[in-house]
Structures are given as structure tokens and as C-alpha cells.
Amino acid sequence: MSALAQLLSHPAVWRGSALGNVATPSVPTGFPALDAEFPGGGWPAAALTEILPQHEGIGELRILGHAFASLSARGRWLAWIAPPYLPYAPALQTAGIDLARLIVVRTRSPRETLWAVEQALRSNSCGAVLAWPGKITWPELRRLQLAAAGTQALAFLFRPPRAAGEASPAALRLALDTCEGDLAVRVLKRRGALLGQPIRLHPAPVVNRLRPAACWTLVSDRLLTAKPPADFELNPG
């Protein structure tokens, strides 16, 4: 193999007309149409993914169900950090997700949320880490991207649709909307060529049954409260 070919095969390099390579195996989404458009053929591991739903409950959890079922079946932990709502436990079970592998973390501030996400990623114990950080800055996103890069976990941040206009170091960014009863997935960013048209899916609605965040015991007995150290800085210099 020539030096140029070796360079082009590196995961950090991709051609504008093709999907990038991945160093860590991706996790299939369960939707062939998505897998065909994602580098590595699935949800990227060791990288940050942002999901921007047009509104809560549009299907942001449904498209993750297959991957979560696969990870929990392999004994991997699923960490939910600062969720505004919790999925209904019987719905998760129906989707094949093992509730015994679920951890829910409460936070009381953006500082605690960032710390909890970082700790979950750096622990190398989780198959997936999901977080709802609210307002978040570029340095904070960069910090989480670096933490994700040091693991084999899936890392998801759920952000409002207005964040689509902001720069982000995330490897994959998706905007979710509805279209004639289907879920329309628009790829805002990926490691590869731009995708002009949204991907239309019709996922099963089973994972989308939500309950208020106060109903913690419906999902897991592993309810934790984040307690970052006093010297933890939200925006390190």
C-alpha cells in the first residue's frame, strides 16, 4: 500500500465524495436506510452524536431502541443523564432492552450534567451514554467529544432544534421531524459527503411512551445523583 493510500485509509481522513472510515466498530441502528448513510454502518462509537428533535417524543428514543437492546444483551450499561422524561419500563422491555443494565442519573445544574457525562464515558463501563445538557458551549462539547473518543461507547446528546445553526465537534448530527406520518431524519453532519435529502423511517412506537421524570422507580432502581468535586471546572482553560 502506498503512503497516500495509507493516509487516506486513516479514520480521521475521508474524501468529500465518500463516507469516512471508523477505527471503532459502529453499532447497527436497526434501520438499513440509516446504516447505509452512517460511516461504519451504524451509530458511531468513540464519538459524540447529537440528536436535535423538532419536539420531545417525536421518535428520538425509538431510533435508538435496537442499539440499546443489543448493548444491554451484551451486558453493557446504559446511562441516562438528566433526562426530562423517562421511558415507560414495560415499553423498554418490549423493545428488548434489559432494565437491569439501565442507570439513571439526576443532576441539578449544567455543571453536574457535564461532570456526570464525562465520568460515565471515562469509566469505560457503559455501552451508551445519553444526556440532555440544555445550553452547552463549544468548549464543553469539545470536552465531551474528547471523553467519548477515549471509549468504545455510544455518546448521545439531545439538543433543541435551534442548535442546528451552531458549530459542534460532534461526529454525527441529526435533526428529526415528521413527514406524512414517518420520521424524517436529516443528516446535518457526518464524516463524509453531505446528504441532501432526509431519510424517512417508520419506527415502531413502543419506546416512545413517556412518563414524568419524577417517576424514577418505573425504570430502574439505580437512581444516582451527580456530585462533582468542588474544583471541577465547567469551562477548563
The pLDDT tens digits for 204-220 are: 654 444 444 433 333 44
- What dihedral angle (degrees, nearest 10) is formed by the CA atoms of 55, 60, 61, 65? 160
Q: Is the pLDDT of residue 63 over 90?
A: yes
Q: Is the pLDDT of residue 228 over 80?
A: no
Q: Is the pLDDT of residue 112 over 60?
A: yes
Say how far residue 160 (Cα) sits from the centre of its chain. Answer: 14
Percent of the chain with pLDDT over 70: 76
Instruction: Indicate the average pLDDT of the chain.
Output: 83
Q: What is the mean pLDDT of residues 201-205?
A: 74
Q: Which domains does the chain have, with CATH numbers?
A: 44-225 (3.40.50.300)
Q: What is the mean pLDDT of residues 123-143?
A: 94
Count how many residues are written for the chain: 237
Identify which of 103, 102, 159 has the alpha carbon closest to the alpha carbon of residue 135.
Answer: 159
Percent of the chain with pLDDT over 90: 59
Taking a C-beta distance cutoff of 8 angstroms, is the pair 197, 75 a contact? no
Position with higher pLDDT, 215 vs 228: 228
pLDDT of residue 91: 83
- Rounded to whole angstroms, how far apart are CA atoms 79 and 70? 15
Alpha helices (H) along 45-102: 65-73, 89-94
Does the pTM exceed 0.85? no
Q: Is the pLDDT of residue 15 over 80?
A: no
Taking a C-beta distance cutoff of 8 angstroms, is the pair 88, 208 a contact? no
